[in-house]
Structure 1
Amino acid sequence: MKIHPLTHSEELLMNILWKLNSAYMKDVMDAYPEPKPHQNTVSTFMKILVEKEFLTTEKQGRIFKYTVAIPYVNYRNFVLGNFINSYFNNSGEELVKYLHDKQLITTSQLKNFIGNITSEVTADPEKKDPVKEFVKEITSDKKPKKKEKKKEKKKKK
């Protein structure tokens, strides 16, 4: 499913719906912050969100129940990916450097984060550190035999 960008107003409405997960128009209007837009305006935005496949509808009598079709996490990942691609040359490293340079993240926070990742890898012997595995592979004298590779593939399955 392709995710489309949302306008500010659509995103505000989706934030309400992500909290509710599914709702009727009355529930959405009750959850809207002041100043509340007119119900016709919200209804128009809901129709647009259905067309963009962010919502699904289920007719119950004369009214519709709207249900979230794209979870918040999926949209957040989409927006973040576009943001990094547009402003940081598709580099997470550039984003982290920028956050550090602007003092939005400290060196100690970065060290803690890296330490947590390292401890997660070492705490679980089944979890292999991909960096260490790569270094080991490129610095080893001999290439693993085909039989050993097949065994490793079978273990992974």
Structure 2
Amino acid sequence: MKISELTAGEEQLMNVLWKLNSAYMREIIESYPEPKPHPNTISTFLKILLEKEFVSSTREGRVFRYSVAVPFEEYRKFKLQNFLAHYCENSAKNLLKMMFKEKLIAPVDFQDFFEVKTTLHSTHKKEENESDISDFIAEITAPKAKKTDKEGKKKNKAEKKKSKKKKKDN
């Protein structure tokens, strides 16, 4: 099934249907937010959504039951892919850069996604051509530097010398 773009009115009706999953016209009208459109308008949107295969219907006596045919998650994925294609050159990295630049996300928002937890403190103002988000991602995903045994022994020796010197001075 090919998912297509929805108008604002169609999407509003789908939001009602995604909450209900399956409903009669009466239930759809009751669930609609204020100001409620005329029932004929809703009926027209349902007809279009049936044609676009977003909704399916079954006749039960004299009334129809409308059911969701395209789950919300699939439509959301479709919308995100379209957004990336039209506004971010098909790059999630560009989306993150834009969100970071517009202060819609912060470094702390990424803590749940990476094993390495870090706090960033800006020490200087970045030039416009530098990529803040690229630097940020590189920093939080870089493995922590491990000290070699020699470095550890040298550090221990230096600490012991300092503590002996303090004892002599006292």
The answer to which structure has the higher helix fraction is 1
Go from structure 1 to structure 2 and tell me whether the alpha carbon gap of 1:111 and 1:41 turns closer, same or farther (over 3 Å shift).
same
Aligned to 2:24: 24
Cα distance in 2 between the residues matched to 1:16 and 1:109: 30
Cα distance in 2 between the residues matched to 1:36 and 1:63: 21
Task: Report the residue type matching 1:50 in the other structure.
Answer: L
Cα distance in 1 between the residues matched to 2:52 and 2:104: 34
Shift of 1:35: 1.2
Shift of 1:109: 1.7
> Unpaired runs of 5+ in structure 2?
117-170
Cα distance in 2 between the residues matched to 1:22 and 1:112: 35
Cα distance in 2 between the residues matched to 1:27 and 1:109: 39
> Unpaired runs of 5+ in structure 1?
117-157
Percent sequence identity over aligned pairs = 51
Aligned to 2:59: 59
Aligned to 2:13: 13
Larger Rg: 2
Cα distance in 1 between the residues matched to 2:57 and 2:105: 42
Aligned to 1:101: 101
Aligned to 1:43: 43
TM-score of the superposed pair, with normalisation by structure 2: 0.66
Aligned to 1:140: none
Cα distance in 2 between the residues matched to 1:87 and 1:32: 31
Cα distance in 1 between the residues matched to 2:49 and 2:104: 34
Task: Report the residue type matching 1:115 in the other structure.
Answer: E
Runs of 4+ in structure 1 deviating by more than 3 angstroms, as ranges, are: none
Q: Secondary structure at the match of 1:115?
A: coil
Aligned to 2:157: none
Tell me how many residue pairs correspond in the alignment. 116
Cα distance in 1 between the residues matched to 2:79 and 2:103: 23
1:56-115, CA deviations, whole angstroms, 9 ceiling, x for partnerless residues? 000011110000000000000000000011000000000011111111110122244223
Aligned to 1:85: 85
Aligned to 1:142: none
Moved more, 104-113 or 72-81: 104-113
Cα distance in 1 between the residues matched to 2:46 and 2:25: 9
Cα distance in 2 between the residues matched to 1:102 and 1:115: 26
